Chains A and B, each alone.
Chain A
Amino acid sequence: MTAATSVTTKICKHCETPHTFEMSEFCCSGCETAWHVIRGRGLEEYYRFRDMKKAAPVGLSQTSFSYLASEDYRSRHVHEAEDKLQCEWYLSGLHCPACVWLVEKVTDAHEGVSNSELTFSDGRLVLFFEEATDLKLLAENLADLGYVAGLQPERAGSTNKELLKLGIAGAIAANIMLMSMPFYSGLSQGWYAWLFGWVSFALTLPLLFYCGRDFFTRARMGLIHKAVDLDLPIALGLASAFALSTFNLISGDLHHIYFDSMGMLVFFLLVGRYIQRSGINRALAEGRRLLAKMPQLVEVSRNGKWTPLPAEEVVPGDLLQLRSGDILPVDGILNSEEAVLNLHVVSGESKPITLEKGKAILSGSVNMGAQIEITATAPFNDTQFARLEQIARQLSERKQDPRGNRLALTFMAGISTFALLGVALWWSTSPLQAFSVALTIFIVACPCALALASPTAQAFALRETSRLGIWVKSADIFRRLLDIRQVIFDKTGILTSGQPTIVAKQIFVENQHWLEAAILELESGTRHPIVEAFRKDLHPRLKTGPASGSKVLPGSGLSGNIEGRHLIVSSPKGLALFGVELKTQEAIETACETLPTGSTLICAVLDGQPAAVFALQDKIRPEAATLTARLTQQGYELTVLSGDHQSTVDQVGGQLGITQRRGNMLPEAKLQYLRDLRPEETLMAGDGLNDMGALAASGVAVTHDEASHAAIKFADVIFQGRDMGRLAVLPHLACAVRGAVRYSIALSLAYNAVAVSLALTGLIGPLIAAVLMPVSSLSMIAMTAWTFRRRRLLWES
């Protein structure tokens, strides 16, 4: 369709990610599958309505859904609902409402499913289906589109109750205001005044004891834990207002009733907190969805029979069977003759390794070769990584310790001084008046704007992050980011793609397309990371006939006959084993010298003559170079820590301009490395099981949504769609939050200065308090919005 001669950047047809593959319209085979599925089902409408900014490459799902077909799943997770069966899944990978439509179309069209409901905000998919429905197939279909189903995640704290309180507070505040109007227009005595006063009082009761209850509980908890934050002055202000107003109501002084200000205060504070909470909840929901993976079933030999069992039930001594592509759930010893394993998540090593019988294998290793058998040596919860996870959990709990707020303490001390001053000034006039002035100070100085400053700024920042596809688990990270001096990268999976890619090739035959097609044909049916790389990177324009007489030499390569010609694909060292002439071997050796150093080399020999040489490398991710350059420019010290060989780490780090490079790091060594630094000054980016400890120990931990379970669990920030390039915008957002909070505090202090001095002179009344409250809060929100707007270019580019 398009000219394929020059290397041009093209846009992926499915996710619109730019790519440079000559022969493909897609950036990856995941996107290609998704596009064909959508087209095949006549659902192209999806492309018209989805939100392009958030789309991400599909990638290939590694999840196995065989658990959905098991008895265990049926008995534990499927319920009867009227005459149908019902189950719940949690989907990850939803990025816009159009995805919801697409998923519902696919599920509704699935045989046996009568109805489905998907909630966008938490990814909950409720399915109603007939007895004989193939749920496994449905989950696989959804995974082809990039939506990976998981089971019940840990329950999220619902914002529903907060929404309820917020709405009721709003209604009450408006009604109290209505009831206070007569007082502002001069009514001060008589039957009506009495009526309006007591109705306001009655309305305030649910406001204080239902809607505003959390302020009091949190203030008390703060006092108990000696970690005072802004809830204390709020609770004190509310209590003073309620006491003083009730006292004045009883004694008949209807000019000094503050019920309407209280209503507004509670309402505004609840709005601020709700916005902040819902932003974080979205991020947490995404994190939880990524963690809600399928329980892994593993084939265990029991009483001489192979049975699929959940990984938790494996005991030491069990014989396990691992098919190609399976992940080992427990530590074990290899029972088969040979195994090709990918240790990427275990040690960070990028090249697959080959082990012989009797060698120990750690949990988390992925079987890349043929089916193997393994004897378990430890139960599921006592693997090396389960122990590391224990340490990591302790570290990350410490990170979330509630801290007192210095600002709140200063503020409390300040207004208490002024209240005492008020008492001293007015004591000679009348002790009652003095008391009233003191309480008024607590009321008008109520830190509404102060308490809203951080939540508002964080809510604005969270809106930006979720727009950019960055999930933030705690708003606290915007503060922690300011302490960061050093950025530490894991190599494999973060700076590099984690899979070998063809970086250079030399072809010696005339018909390049026939040769590439023949190589793919010969390799079809085998599974090895290098074969995957060929499949991904070679896009011949034709197909050859089937291969015959194939022969595989494990660890070297394979040979076979295609259309009457004899083809060998092997590592240069393996050629001798296939009986290739010495002259051809030498020719290949010479050709290989021109290829980049540090690569894995693969050559093809056709009818005894050299045909091609390929160099494969774990390629540096496209955004990594810009990212490291930007971070250096921003003044961060960069380090790369990896379990891979020092030479590979040096090569990758050198290309990216990272001067501090440490290779051969075991998981514990990574953790220790961070502990030896000042952990709160470090940002750790990692995605493997082996990074777990380091992530938990760091000040800010970041990962991407295809990372290992453990990394997602301990990360503070998750990048959607694997692209870490946006890491450089986080410091800008943190600075914007700091700036906005500073402006707001200055603004709030200015208001308080005016209000408190008015209160000291006894001039302030409920009307001024009722006006100052919303004016200060609204101007603060406007100020924050302006701060973010002004700095927007910093993270837009």
Chain B
Amino acid sequence: MGILIFLAPLALLLSGFGVVSYIWACKNRQFDDLDAPPTKILFEDEIRKNNHEC
């Protein structure tokens, strides 16, 4: 049980790290546009492939 004194703060620290990165992501508008970026990746590839064929 003694290990808890070390593990409990560690757990909190880890989740604290998660929360801080989440706050960073929100403030940097990472969640603003969830629709376009995934599709955009598809497009770029297609165009490049076409250029190679030409």
Contacts and interface: CB of A to CB of B under 8 A. Distances in A.
Interface of A: 45, 48-49, 96-98, 100-101, 104, 118-122, 160, 163-164, 167-168, 171, 174-175, 178-179, 192, 195-196, 199
A167 B26 contact: yes
A160 B31 contact: yes
A119 B22 CA distance: 20
Nearest to B50: A45
A120 B42 contact: no
Interface residues of B, number: 28
A106 B35 CA distance: 19
A156 to B, nearest CB: 12
Interface of B: 1, 4-5, 8, 11-12, 15, 18-19, 22-23, 26-27, 29, 31-36, 38-40, 42-43, 46-47, 50
B40 A97 contact: yes
A455 B5 CA distance: 42
Contact of A120 (B4, B5, B18, B33): B33
A45 B12 contact: no
B15 A171 contact: yes
A118 B36 contact: yes
Contacts of B46: 45, 48
B31 A163 contact: yes
B32 A121 contact: yes
A228 to B, nearest CB: 32
Contacts of B31: 160, 163
A61 B27 CA distance: 37
A160 B26 CA distance: 7
B33 A121 contact: yes
Residue among A96, A120, A179 having the largest count of chain B Cβ atoms under 10 Å: A120
Contacts of A97: 35-36, 38-40
Contacts of A179: 8
Contacts of B5: 195
A104 B50 CA distance: 19
Given A101-B36, A163-B26, A167-B22, 9 more contacts: A49-B43, A120-B33, A121-B35, A160-B29, A164-B26, A174-B15, A192-B1, A192-B4, A195-B8
A119 B33 contact: yes
Nearest to B9: A199
Contacts of B22: 164, 167-168, 171
Contacts of A49: 39, 42-43
Contact of A101 (B8, B12, B29, B43): B43
A120 B26 contact: no
A120 B35 contact: yes
Contacts of A122: 32
A104 B41 CA distance: 13
Contacts of B47: 45
A199 B12 contact: yes
A196 B19 CA distance: 20
A175 B9 CA distance: 11
A171 B18 contact: yes
B23 A164 contact: yes
Given A164-B23, A171-B22, A192-B4, A45 B43 contact: yes
Contacts of A101: 36, 39-40, 43
B33 A98 contact: no
Q: Which 4 A-B pairs have the closest CB atoms?
A: A97-B39, A100-B36, A120-B36, A97-B36
Contacts of A199: 8, 12
A637 B12 CA distance: 63
A119 B32 contact: yes
A175 B12 contact: yes
Contacts of B50: 45
Nearest to A97: B39
Contacts of A192: 1, 4
A174 B16 CA distance: 12
Nearest to A195: B8
B48 to A, nearest CB: 11
Contacts of A118: 36
Contacts of A175: 11-12, 15
A179 B5 CA distance: 13
Contacts of A164: 22-23, 26-27
B32 A160 contact: yes
Nearest to B38: A97
Contacts of A96: 35, 39
A226 B39 CA distance: 49
